[in-house]
Amino acid sequence: MGTWELKDGEKITEETWFPLKGGQMMGVSHTYDSKRTHFFEFLRIMVKKDMINYIPQPGGDPPVPFRITQLDDKVAVWENPKHDYPQRIRYKRTEKGMTATISLLDGSRAKSFLYTRAEAAK
């Protein structure tokens, strides 16, 4: 829950998660710089058919469900072997914040993003 931030030169990515309400956690990811939006994504975590699903909608595209395969105090992993890329989405809490990693099921083509908790707006 809350807002997590990743800075890459001029680009900033903010991923904001809202509290669980109505059986779903809703979130949004926004990558931007001072001139334009580079990427956005709508996010949901919800229970469907007794399974926790992560449902991203990159760029507002149709939703793509990923089913939970691992969940503990520090790690949550969702997978969808039928999706082209990514097939695995992994969030891990770290001392510095949160690392999100996307990859194929075998771990190849992995890309990791280290987020830190954003400071509260002043």
The 10s digit of each residue's pLDDT in 59-95 is: 989 999 999 999 999 999 999 999 999 999 999 999 8
Q: Is residue 81 part of a domain?
A: yes
DSSP 12-80: EEEEEEPPPBTTEEEEEEEEE-SS-EEEEEEEEEEEETTEEEEEEEETTPPP--EEEEEESSSEEEEE-
Task: Kindly tell me if the per-residue pLDDT of 120 is higher than 60.
Answer: no
Total tally of structural domains belonging to the chain: 1
Q: What pLDDT band is residue 5 in, cutting at 50, 70 and 90?
A: very high
- For 70, the domain range is 2-117
Which domain CATH number covers 56?
2.40.128.20
Q: Is residue 122 part of a domain?
A: no
Do 44 and 58 touch, CB atoms closer than 8 A? no
- How buried is residue 68: exposed, middle or buried, by Cβ count under 10 Å (0-12/13-18/19+)? middle
Average predicted confidence (pLDDT) for the chain: 94
Q: Is residue 58 part of a domain?
A: yes
Per-residue pLDDT of 11-31, as tens digits, reads 999 999 999 999 999 999 999
Task: Kindly tell me if the per-residue pLDDT of 2 is higher than 80.
Answer: yes
Task: Kindly tell me if the per-residue pLDDT of 122 is higher than 50.
Answer: no
